[in-house]
Structure 1
Amino acid sequence: MRLATVDIAGQHTVVDVVEFKDGHGRGRVLADGCVGQLLGRGDLSSVLGDATPAQHSAAATPRGMVEFTSAQLLPVVPRPGKIFCVGLNYREHIEEMGHEIPEHPTLFAKYASALAAPFAQVNLPAALGQQADYEGELAVVVGAGGRIAGYAVMNDFSQRDLQYRTQQWLQGKNADASSAFGPWLTPAQEADPVADGAMLRTWVNGELRQEHSVSDLVFPPAELVEYISQFARLEPGDAIVTGTPEGVGHGMKPPRYLADGDEVRISIEGLGEVSSTVRMG
């Protein structure tokens, strides 16, 4: 099962992606209850943006199948109640950024307004484009009782000049509609990318910049869920973005920030890929 949120005739519709190739997909429309069973809640309208049950989708065939393009894919969870991001969670990335291995997870918040569709163009105002950077990351979506419902891919898009104005990183991590999230949710009972040693890879204009196994996380998903749950109630649809490996533009010598027209593509084995073209100004 690969759950995606798709814009079908102006409605946010949850589909189980049967096929996706060269920007064109086909999937089986799911009733809200099916998704609710996975995430642990029956009404997902507040999380998935008024997700449309199969019987109400005018675009669905009698067998509940729809066709869609990459442009119709939305962030896999368009409106998470909470998004916790983890910094400094791969040893090599910690070293390239000049920090020590932390004893506890380094957390910061990302807001739902910062999420972007998995293949959307990212439009940055000129003031936010001076030190724009990419971060390929494994994202965890929370289900009922704080359990892990599934996994997806995210680009924790960053503005390094804003990020390092203070010791708090929030202002450099929340540009509107900048962080590609998707392309779909792979249920935890069907995949465990950490246990499987899945490779995370990031390309900029076709050049491989990041290549690292997600099994090397200092704080893996289960530990992050346990840690965060000590101070915040994790609810269905919340997301935890687990950190990036070495190879970001800011860590290069000299730094190599993103420029107008650059394409960033991020994949994690078994979970799919997201891609963003950056436009400045």
Structure 2
Amino acid sequence: MNFITYVYDNKERVGVLKEDKVISLEELLKDCNEVIPKDMLDLIENYDESILNKLEKLLEKENNNYISLDLVKLKAPIPYPKRNIICLGKNYVDHVKEIKLTQIAGMDIPEKPIYFSKIASPAIGDKDSIEFSKSVTSKVDYEVELAIIIGKDGKNIKKEEAENYIFGYTIINDVSARDLQGDHKQWFKGKSLDTFCPMGPSIVHKNAVPFPVNLKIQSKVNGEVRQNSNTKNLIFDIPYILSDLSKGITLKRGDIICTGTPSGVGMGFEPIKVLENSDIVECYIEKIGTLSNNIKVND
């Protein structure tokens, strides 16, 4: 199942995306004795496997109450995460080799995961604008990333039990101001400007993604393929990440963990390819879909 947060008839809803059609959970469960989640975090926190299995069966039935995807406004699946987005830096070998502009991480293959966080308040959705002012930054870059959505609280998670703590996966474009990263000698501010966390278009439930995760990951700018890899190329895979990160830290339902980006980001080119006004950035991950955003420079 691909869960979405969307607006229809001026009301925000949680629903399921099936090809180019949408149906709300309210509609799906109208004849069931189940509480309708008020938002995606409510679904993640309170729906167990039995309810999710019931939804799967309901989706298999003939239903005329789908509406066209064209009639709704997709939002980020979790517009307001409970905590900062947890991110990994330098988690694809080819990306490590292209790092040079920020000059704060070195070009060695990391022996341990490099963690940082970014603010998403709110995360923006598909077709929303990534906005910035050139008085703040002039070197804005894209990074397509597979994001893990935690589905169960956990601390000191064993690698072999990692999948039990996952609800599903989504796409995040870890938009980055490279000049701010270099100037401040850290990543937080350069990753956290307003609108710098596009997310979506959906959360695919883990049952639809064989484990270990092996998904094509790609980004395009104005139709030009920039990044093209597979999540099997992660330096630190998902079981390692969840086990290592949860040592002494409780991961909570609804937490979002970005797993890193492959090579092909703008700063990896000579000369660098920064994002400009009216550019279209498309981030694609197999089974999840395509997250598309336009660039709006406010100067």
TM-score (norm 2): 0.79
What is the Cα deviation at residue 16 of structure 1?
A: 1.0
The answer to whether the Cα contact below 8 Å between 2:14 and 2:39 also exists between their aligned partners in 1 is no
Among 41, 46, 49, the alignment partner of 1:41 is: 46
**Matched residues in 2 for 1:10 and 1:116: separation?**
17
Task: In structure 2, give the amino acid aligned to 1:181.
Answer: M
CA distance in 2, matches of 1:181, 1:260: 20
Q: Are positions 1:119 and 2:127 aligned together?
A: yes
Q: Compared with structure 1, are the counterparts of its residues 34 and 189 closer, same or farther at alpha carbon in structure 2 (3 Å cutoff)?
A: farther
Unmatched segments (≥5 aa) in structure 2: 27-35, 48-62, 101-106, 155-164
What corresponds to 2:183 in structure 1? 165
Equivalent residues, number:
257
How far is the alpha carbon of 1:168 from its aligned partner? Answer: 1.6
Q: Tell me, in whole angstroms, the C-alpha distance in 2 between the residues paired with 1:227 and 1:276.
A: 33
Query: Gaps (5+ residues) in structure 1?
Result: 43-61
Task: Answer with 78-87 or 152-161: which moved more.
Answer: 78-87
Q: Which residue of 2 aligns with 1:149?
A: 167
CA distance in 2, matches of 1:156, 1:70: 28
Q: CA shift at 1:8, angstroms?
A: 2.5
1:190 equivalent among 202, 208, 221: 208
Change (3 A) 1:185 1:70: farther
What's the secondary structure of 1:118's corresponding residue? coil
The C-alpha deviation readout for 1:201-254, integer Å capped at 9, x for no partner, is: 110000000000111001122221222212322111110011100000011111
What do the CA deviations read for 1:128-174 (whole angstroms, capped 9, x no partner)?
Answer: 44001000110111111341110011100010000112332101001
1:19-38 correspondence to structure 2 within 5 Å: 19-20=19-20, 25-30=21-26, 31-32=36-37
- The residue identity in structure 1 corresponding to 2:77 is V
Q: Do the aligned residues in 1 keep the contact of 2:218 with 2:283 (CA within 8 Å)?
A: yes
- The match for 1:84 among 72, 81, 86 is 86
- CA-based RMSD of the aligned residues comes to 2.3
Partner letter of residue 84 of structure 1? Answer: I
Aligned to 1:219: 236
Q: Report deviation, 1:79.
A: 1.5
1:48 corresponds to: none
Q: Is the CA contact 1:92–1:245 (under 8 Å) kept in the aligned structure 2?
A: yes
Aligned partner (choices 105, 109, 115) of residue 107 of structure 1: 115
**Cα distance in 2, alignment partners of residues 17 and 102 from structure 1:** 38
2: distance between equivalents of 1:243 and 1:136? 8
Give the Å deviation of 1:33: 8.7
Say which is worse superposed, 3-12 or 137-146, in terms of deviation.
3-12
- CA separation in 2, counterparts of 1:91 and 1:177? 28
Q: Give 1:206's match in structure 2, choosing from 223, 226, 230.
A: 223
Which AA in structure 1 matches 2:19?
E
Alignment of 1:259-278 (within 5 A): 259-278=276-295
- 86-95 or 75-84, larger mean C-alpha shift: 75-84
Indicate the residue corresponding to 1:12 in structure 2: 12
Report if the CA contact (8 A) 1:196-1:215 is conserved: yes
How many Å apart are 1:197 and its aligned residue?
Answer: 2.6
Q: Quote the Cα distance in structure 2 between the aligned partners of 1:158 and 1:35.
A: 26
For residue 185 of structure 1, report the CA deviation from its aligned partner: 0.6
Tell me how far 1:64 sits from its aligned partner.
Answer: 5.8
Take 1:197 and 1:244, find their aligned partners in 2: how far apart are those partners? 14
- In structure 2, what residue type is equivalent to 1:255? I
**In the alignment, is the contact (CA less than 8 A) between 1:29 and 1:64 conserved in 2?**
no
% same residue: 30
Paired AA for residue 76 in structure 2: P
Give distance in 2, aligned partners of 1:257 and 1:17: 33
Query: Stretches of 4+ moved more than 6 A in 1?
Result: 33-38
Residue 10 of structure 1, CA deviation: 3.2
| 2:234 alignment partner AA | L
Give the letter for the 2:195 counterpart.
A
